[in-house]
Amino acid sequence: RHGLAIERGDTFLYYTGHYERCFNDPDPDKWWKDFAGLSRPATEHLADLGVMNIGCEAFTIENPTEMFPDSEEPYPSHQVCKERGLLNTENLVIPRRLVGKRFRFVCLPLKLRGGTGSPTRAVALLDG
């Protein structure tokens, strides 16, 4: 939509406004249920394009209707990432001013023994 080509090795961050809309909302259910996410086919498409990391503002990259244990395949986008060797970075604050721009994404996780995830320091490095 913004005319940016997705290149092999890219991190694909998608902005939905979720953080701005829900973080300080007094209704905590909005944070857990009111967000857009990726379906299995969308995640597979990004993997086919050579993306190495998918990131979002919500607590999961999944479409919320597909992530719960009573769904046919819980957390299908996570399954694709596992199968295809992709990373996923969640709970990001993605400033609106980054939308439609290419930048270097640097994400520094803590080294946790036995963990499958970590808090990170994520930054965007813009040219010029």
The pLDDT tens digits for 59-104 are 899 987 766 666 677 888 999 999 999 999 999 999 999 999 999 9
Structure tokens at 92: 């990001």
Spatial neighbors of 39 by CB under 8 A, at least 6 apart, are: 63, 66, 76, 77
pLDDT of residue 77: 92
Q: How far is residue 49 from each of residues 4, 80, 91, 96, 101, measured CA to CA in Å? A: 13, 13, 24, 24, 18
Evaluate if residue 1 carries a pLDDT over 70. Answer: no
- What pLDDT digit, counting tens, does each position of 19-66 carry? 998 988 899 888 888 888 999 999 999 999 999 999 999 989 998 776
Quickly count helices (H) and strands (E) in the chain: 4, 5
Contact 48, 10 (CB under 8 A): no
